[in-house]
């Protein structure tokens, strides 16, 4: 904001708080100031008006603080403690719950584990299908009890859904050409209007059948926290500021989390969650509505990213990140809207160490102009936090090559591939994939993203492998730590991919010059793609 409120400086100081935290960190969004003060959090609403919300008066902010407490105590009552006034004394000093004039209101919360946010766990590749089942187990009984009263059912009807969608289209028009193209915008609008026109009876039936609820309204990974120590899952930060966004079809909330998982590259977990939720809720029509509401939710997130990008109070790095994310959200919305007509390809170059898969994968990806993800780079840079070219001569299955590191590495590869595939971009993976279970994950990713999966098994003579690995050991700046003893261990446990594992399996002899190998591969691919 251009003119920061006077009390803001006081709230940045640890001495301002009665419990005297050691430090205070401020996080800003387009809607709020959030103060992390030791084991407590204080959230203050900004005096903004975006049309879909109005926090411009102290009275309104007070009301919506109370609503925030009421709504969020449904899912995590132990976190939301209450609201507290920020006061100004006669001496001009500000205080928390003081006796002077109330100048602002804050929502007081217990602080959840900083490292437990689902969005962070996703980045660290620590989210599994079991975690999604835990979320589902909380949400199913919640939605069964959250039925909307008769007077609010209209908020889940076709008229309100149309209003929400058209409001989005109006609010993103200034960002067309910057965050999304004109063609993308037209495709999203056309799909949305056509779907609503063709499914009016479905929306009416959902109202009659009791699927309209007072839901969460903002159900995605940034608002879910895992406390691994206490084995708790907190689902927080419900929408309090607009009933149109909170009352709606249960499918709207489910679609938001599924869309967010897609956005993060976990499209296989998105499918797992939504299908399991549908089964347990006994909601036969949910999947029919899912892409429509995913598209809607992706547009909302893209719009919010643009608002954050435009906020002068947000630092430049956060602004640029917000715009980049907005573009990806709009690309995702475009995909849900049917804008991607050709399925992407997931090329998996696999095989034992020294068989040339990385050399071939890199050359092939460069020729195709697509992104390549290498397991050695991911294992070192993303998982272990060490330079990719740093040599680690670890025994087989130990150190950064332990089963734990390997599992996270292959989860990361699947996630990185999913991020591209879900928006229609083909991708190359480069890893041994000697384990059938790790290849199975790629089958799930390909199915969920609509991609074609091709395993390219690189092979060559053992004599050639020995020459390559010996030469590699003497070269500097190489990412791979492959050695002959590693090759032999891999060979013992290598499980050949079968025809049931991919759309196609291609065996590629790499005992030839690189150009000849690439030409052979492209000829083989023409038969399948």
What are the tens digits of pLDDT across the range 9-65?
A: 999 999 999 999 999 999 988 799 999 999 999 999 999 998 889 999 999 999 999
Find where tokens 């709230």 sit.
Answer: 11
- What distances in angstroms separate CA 309 from CA 32, 49, 387, 459, 492, one per listed residue? 15, 16, 32, 49, 53
List, in order, residues 6 or more apart from 390 with CB less than 8 Å away: 380
pTM as predicted: 0.89
How would you label 174-199 residue by residue, b for 16+ Cβ within 10 Å and e otherwise?
A: ebbeebbeeebbebbbebbeebbeeb
> Taking residues 202-210, what's their average pLDDT?
95
pLDDT digits (tens, 9 = 90+) for 313-353: 788 999 999 999 999 999 999 999 999 989 999 999 999 98
Please count the other Cβ atoms lying within 10 Å of the Cβ belonging to residue 94: 21
Q: What is the average pLDDT value for the chain, to the nearest integer?
A: 92
pLDDT at 165: 96
How would you label 316-352 residue by residue, b for 16+ Cβ within 10 Å and e otherwise?
A: eebbeebbebbbbbbbbbbbbbebbeebbbbbbbbbb
Could you tell me if 353 and 434 are in contact, meaning their C-beta atoms sit under 8 angstroms apart? no
Find where tokens 């290849």 sit.
Answer: 439
Residue 1 pLDDT exceeds 60 = no
The torsion of the CA quartet 317, 318, 323, 325, rounded to 10 degrees, works out to: 110
The torsion of the CA quartet 446, 274, 217, 12, rounded to 10 degrees, works out to: -60
**Cα angle 124, 130, 133; round to 5:** 120
Tokens standing for 449? 């993203």
pLDDT at 386: 80
pLDDT digits (tens, 9 = 90+) for 356-385: 899 999 999 999 999 999 998 898 888 878
Residue 456 pLDDT exceeds 60 = yes
User: For residue 2, what pLDDT band results from cuts at 50, 70 and 90?
Assistant: low
> Taking residues 79-87, what's their average pLDDT?
97
Could you tell me if 106 and 62 are in contact, meaning their C-beta atoms sit under 8 angstroms apart? no
pLDDT digits (tens, 9 = 90+) for 248-266: 999 999 999 999 999 999 9
Q: Where are the beta strands (DSSP E) in 154-301?
A: 212-214, 224-227, 232-235, 247-249
SS3 of residue 26 by DSSP = strand
SS3 of residue 102 by DSSP = strand
Could you tell me if 303 and 168 are in contact, meaning their C-beta atoms sit under 8 angstroms apart? yes
Please count the other Cβ atoms lying within 10 Å of the Cβ belonging to residue 375: 23
SS3 of residue 430 by DSSP = strand
pLDDT at 482: 66
Ordered alpha helix ranges (H), 56-128: 58-72, 118-123
Could you tell me if 247 and 155 are in contact, meaning their C-beta atoms sit under 8 angstroms apart? yes
**If DSSP states are collapsed to H, E and C, what string results for 220-238?**
CHHHEEEECCCCEEEECCC
Find where tokens 């010996």 sit.
Answer: 470
The CATH number of 116-336, from 1.20.1070, 1.10.3470, 3.90.1200, 2.102.10, is: 3.90.1200
Tokens standing for 367? 């020729």
| Least confident stretch, 131-135, 389-393, 462-466 | 389-393
pLDDT at 465: 82
Residue 294 pLDDT exceeds 80 = yes
- Cα 337 off chain centre by: 19
> Taking residues 191-203, what's their average pLDDT?
97
Find where tokens 């403690």 sit.
Answer: 81
pLDDT digits (tens, 9 = 90+) for 460-509: 988 888 888 877 666 655 666 666 788 888 888 898 898 888 889 999 99
pLDDT at 50: 86
Q: Per CATH, which fold does 345-526 belong to? A: Rossmann fold (3.40.50)
Instruction: Write down the domain spans for the chain.
Output: 7-111, 116-336, 345-526
> Taking residues 295-312, what's their average pLDDT?
93
User: What whole-number distance in Å separates Cα of residue 256 and Cα of residue 192?
Assistant: 16
pLDDT at 337: 98
- Cα 283 off chain centre by: 25
pLDDT digits (tens, 9 = 90+) for 443-454: 999 999 999 999
Beta bridge partners, 371, equal: 427
SS3 of residue 421 by DSSP = helix
Tokens standing for 157? 């009807």
| Least confident stretch, 215-219, 258-262, 396-400, 415-419 | 396-400
Task: Kindly report the backbone phi and psi dihedral angles of residue 429, in degrees, each rounded to the nearest multiple of 5, phi listed first.
Answer: -110, 140
Could you tell me if 298 and 329 are in contact, meaning their C-beta atoms sit under 8 angstroms apart? yes
Residue 401 pLDDT exceeds 70 = yes
**Cα angle 154, 160, 164; round to 5:** 155
Of residues 397 and 242, the one with the higher pLDDT is 242
Could you tell me if 219 and 258 are in contact, meaning their C-beta atoms sit under 8 angstroms apart? no
Beta bridge partners, 94, equal: 88
**Size of the chain in residues:** 529
Q: Which of 86, 102, 108, 104 is nearest to 37 (CA)?
A: 108
pLDDT at 78: 96
User: What whole-number distance in Å separates Cα of residue 272 and Cα of residue 266?
Assistant: 10
pLDDT at 402: 83
CA dihedral over 437, 442, 443, 448, signed as positive or negative: positive
Residue 440 pLDDT exceeds 70 = yes
Q: Which of 78, 81, 74, 82 is nearest to 138 (CA)?
A: 74
pLDDT at 388: 67
User: What whole-number distance in Å separates Cα of residue 63 and Cα of residue 55?
Assistant: 10
Task: Kindly report the backbone phi and psi dihedral angles of residue 347, in degrees, each rounded to the nearest multiple of 5, phi listed first.
Answer: -90, 120
pLDDT at 491: 86
């Amino acid at each position: 904001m251009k003119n920061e409120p006077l009390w803001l400086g006081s709230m940045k100081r640890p001495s301002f708080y009665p419990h005297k935290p050691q430090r205070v960190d401020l996080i800003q969004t387009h809607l709020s100031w959030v103060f992390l003060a030791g084991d407590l959090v204080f959230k203050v609403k900004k005096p903004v008006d975006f049309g879909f919300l109005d926090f411009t008066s102290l009275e309104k902010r007070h009301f919506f603080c109370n609503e925030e407490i009421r709504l969020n105590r449904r899912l995590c009552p132990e976190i939301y403690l209450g609201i507290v006034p920020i006061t100004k004394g006669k001496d001009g000093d500000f205080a928390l719950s003081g006796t002077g004039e109330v100048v602002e209101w804050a929502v007081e919360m217990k602080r959840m584990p900083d490292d437990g946010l689902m969005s962070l766990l996703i980045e660290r590749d620590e989210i599994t299908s079991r975690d999604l089942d835990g979320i589902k187990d909380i949400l199913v009984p919640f939605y069964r009890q959250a039925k909307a009263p008769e007077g609010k059912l209209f908020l889940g009807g076709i008229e309100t859904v149309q209003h929400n969608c058209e409001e989005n289209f109006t609010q993103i028009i200034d960002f067309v050409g910057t965050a999304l193209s004109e063609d993308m915008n037209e495709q999203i609008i056309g799909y949305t209007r056509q779907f609503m026109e063709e499914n009016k009876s479905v929306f009416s039936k959902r109202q009659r059948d009791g699927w309209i609820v007072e839901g969460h309204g903002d159900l995605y990974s940034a608002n879910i926290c895992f406390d691994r120590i206490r084995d708790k899952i907190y689902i927080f930060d419900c929408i309090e500021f607009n009933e149109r966004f909170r009352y709606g079809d249960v499918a709207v909330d489910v679609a938001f989390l599924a869309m967010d998982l897609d956005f993060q590259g976990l499209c296989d977990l998105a499918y797992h969650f939504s299908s399991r939720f549908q089964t347990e809720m006994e909601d036969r029509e949910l999947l029919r509505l899912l892409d429509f509401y995913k598209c809607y939710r992706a547009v909302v997130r893209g719009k919010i990213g643009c608002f954050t990008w435009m906020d002068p109070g947000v630092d430049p790095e956060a602004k640029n990140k917000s715009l980049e994310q907005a573009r990806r959200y709009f690309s995702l919305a475009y995909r849900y809207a049917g804008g991607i007509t050709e399925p992407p390809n997931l090329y998996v170059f696999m095989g034992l160490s020294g068989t040339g898969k990385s050399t071939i994968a890199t050359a092939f990806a460069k020729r195709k102009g697509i992104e390549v993800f290498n397991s050695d780079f991911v294992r070192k840079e993303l998982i272990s936090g060490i330079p990719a070219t740093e040599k680690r001569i670890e025994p087989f299955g130990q150190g950064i090559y332990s089963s734990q590191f390997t599992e996270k590495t292959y989860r990361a590869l699947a996630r990185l591939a999913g991020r591209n595939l879900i928006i229609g971009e083909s991708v190359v993976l480069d890893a041994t994939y000697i384990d059938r279970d790790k290849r199975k994950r790629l089958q799930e990713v390909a199915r969920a993203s609509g991609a074609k999966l091709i395993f390219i098994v690189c092979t060559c003579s053992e004599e050639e492998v020995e020459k390559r690995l010996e030469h590699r050991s003497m070269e500097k700046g190489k990412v791979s730590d492959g050695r002959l003893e590693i090759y032999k261990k891999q060979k013992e446990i290598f499980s050949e991919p079968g025809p049931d594992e991919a759309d196609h399996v291609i065996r590629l002899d790499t005992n030839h010059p690189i150009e000849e190998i690439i030409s052979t591969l492209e000829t083989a691919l023409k038969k399948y793609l």
